[in-house]
Amino acid sequence: MSEATPVLEGWFTLDEGKPHLLGSKCQSCGTYYFPQMRGEAKFCRNPDCEGDSFDTVELSRTGKVWSYTNAVYKPPEPFVAADPFEPYAIAAVQLEAESMIVLGQVVEGVNVDALEVGMDMELVLEPLADGKLTWKWKPAAGASS
Amino acid sequence: MSANDVVIAGVGMHPWGKWGRNFVEYGVHAARAALKDAGVSWEDVQFVSGGATIRNGYPGFVAGASIAQALGWQGAEVNTSYAACASGSQALAAARAKILAGHCEVALVVGADTTPKGFLKPQPGERPDDPDWVRFRVGITNPTYFALYARRRMAMYGDTLEDFAAVKVKNAQHGFENDNARYRKLFSAEDVAASAMVADPLRLMDVCATSDGGAALIICSAEYAKKIGKANAPRVAAISTVTPTYASEVVEMPDIATDSSAIVDAQSYRAALPKKAYEEAGIGPEDVSLAEVYDLSTALELDWIEDLKLCERGEAAKLLRAGDTKVGGRIPVNASGGLACFGEAVPAQALAQVCELTWQLRGDAGARQVEGAKVGITANQGLFGHGSSVIVKA
């Protein structure tokens, strides 16, 4: 288990080997949510469902690239940038079972030239410039290029 | 003229630019220009419908009243709408509904924005429940979203960087002829290619700026229009400000994920916006002479063309390459120059789209004139379920 602090509490498991994003699942209709439903009043956003109870679930940790890009310029606060700033890639990955697309940085060392729409990615944890752990996408082992 | 039409008796704009002056100044300028254009006196306006600006403190939240006060209180009723980039359309919808209900004959619709000095810094502290805080914290910026959509077009439809650059070149040619545009400079494809990459594949010239600006309309009932000799002026035939239908199909700023479509089918919000407008106006895309769309990025203009069903999904770049979307072509898009030449002034932008359609349908667009323009449509989208599509007929 990692001893580093996550950038967002309860957004992902801290299993460094096979981390999962943590989402919610409506107990009434089964719709998934990421991030989790939080706060006093939780309402299922399916307009045909009045559910207000949700289970915490581990989301699929693999998916296919829906699209990708990068950040060439340092984002504004609250982003904490490395100095000097190093551009990083970003991937929008489609999770199959949950049928949802989740954004995340791509791991260090993998830039847009190595990415393709449709390729397989897996979820890993990596620290941000301030040492806080975040989820990132990494080309899955044996990913077709 | 159908029973649901309201007449656009006058239009007016303050040029777009970057001066940081009080937004009320731009709003008054646009309002006075629209009143003069309509031949209507400020004293005769019965309803002031403003688009709010949320970067300018309390006066911005009540922009309709702020501008009415600057013009001089005269007892008209007032309403201010905030709907992100669709604020102007919501303000127009409020005025139109009042006129069609018979509660008002003539209304001023106005929106204006400015960039305050020392652009607001985010408040310090952690806000994990605020999606807009979260996405910046983990490194997702504004251009991220537009770049994802652009890359998706390249992968799905074979669009190229040259196609995106061609959108900028075309819009620059249009904006060059527009006195109200902020950027009036011709660009070549090479200029776009040479501009710095911001978020792959989008370069600096592929994304739009933020601007000061103001736009206003004087709209009225059909009877009032006859009284002032404007019976044949262009009219608003439809307004759509529908919200999305669950589940979202694409990741929308500032979210970190889409909805799940595991149980409920995914829906395209952008494609839903013009549907209600077409139905309300009783027309189809084949009847459209020109379109003003929200080109927050060059690639997004291509998405909009397809969302408006001006061509099949994936085919927009073909239209662009054939010259169809340039003034002089079959279906000009952003004859005004679009956001590429204006930059975005949130509460004024949707009204600026309607101003352009009005000039075009009157035959008053000068070097930008779309020959024989009879029907125009707008499309825009903002954050948190706000968007609009307005149809104007000659």
Spatial separation of the C-alpha atoms in residues B377 and A74, rounded to whole Å: 37
For residue B366, the Cα-to-chain-centroid distance in whole angstroms is 21
| Per-residue model confidence (pLDDT) at position B4 | 85
Chain A CB within 8 Å of residue B147 CB: yes
Please enumerate in sequence order all residues whose Cβ is within 8 A of that of B190, keeping only pairs 6 or more positions apart, or say none.
none
Least CB-CB distance to B262: which of A31, A112, A134? A31
Spatial separation of the C-alpha atoms in residues A117 and A105, rounded to whole Å: 15
DSSP codes of every residue in B132-167? HHHHHHTT--HHHHHHHHHHHHHHHH---HHHHHHH
Amino acid (one-letter) located at B23: F
Spatial separation of the C-alpha atoms in residues B173 and B191, rounded to whole Å: 14
Residue of A nearest to B196 (CA): A72
Spatial separation of the C-alpha atoms in residues A11 and B94, rounded to whole Å: 41
In this structure, the dihedral spanned by the alpha carbons of residues B77, B9, B179 and B302, taken in order and rounded to 10 degrees, is 90
Tokens representing B124? 């310090």
> Taking CB atoms and an 8 Å limit, are B199 and A72 in contact across chains?
yes
> Taking CB atoms and an 8 Å limit, are B156 and A45 in contact across chains?
no
Q: Which chain B residues touch A8 with a CB distance below 8 Å?
A: 128, 134, 137-138
> Taking CB atoms and an 8 Å limit, are A117 and B141 in contact across chains?
no
Residue of A nearest to B137 (CA): A79
Least CB-CB distance to A75: which of B139, B201, B246? B139
> Is pLDDT above 80 for A23?
yes
Chain A closest-CA separation from residue B296 CA (Å) = 17
Task: Please choose, from the candidates A58, A66, A83, the residue with its C-alpha nearest in 3D space to the C-alpha of residue A135.
Answer: A58
> Taking CB atoms and an 8 Å limit, are A90 and B264 in contact across chains?
no
Chain B closest-CA separation from residue A93 CA (Å) = 9
Spatial separation of the C-alpha atoms in residues B342 and B259, rounded to whole Å: 33
Per-residue pLDDT of chain B (394 residues; tens, 9 = 90+): 788 899 999 999 999 999 999 999 999 999 999 999 999 999 999 999 999 999 899 999 999 999 999 999 999 999 999 999 999 999 999 999 999 999 999 999 999 999 876 655 667 889 999 999 999 999 999 999 999 999 999 999 999 999 999 999 999 999 999 999 999 999 999 999 999 999 999 999 999 999 999 999 999 999 999 999 999 999 999 999 999 999 999 999 999 999 999 999 999 999 999 999 999 999 999 999 999 999 999 999 999 999 999 999 999 999 999 999 999 999 999 999 999 999 999 999 999 999 999 999 999 999 999 999 999 999 999 999 999 999 999 9
Name the one residue in this structure whose structure tokens are 């254009």: B37
> Taking CB atoms and an 8 Å limit, are A47 and B246 in contact across chains?
yes
| Per-residue model confidence (pLDDT) at position A3 | 63
Contact between A14 and A123 (Cβ < 8 Å): no
| Per-residue model confidence (pLDDT) at position A1 | 47
Query: How confident is the model over A30-65, as pLDDT tens digits?
Result: 999 999 998 888 999 999 999 999 999 999 999 999
Span A129-133, average pLDDT: 95
Name the one residue in this structure whose structure tokens are 């900028």: B168
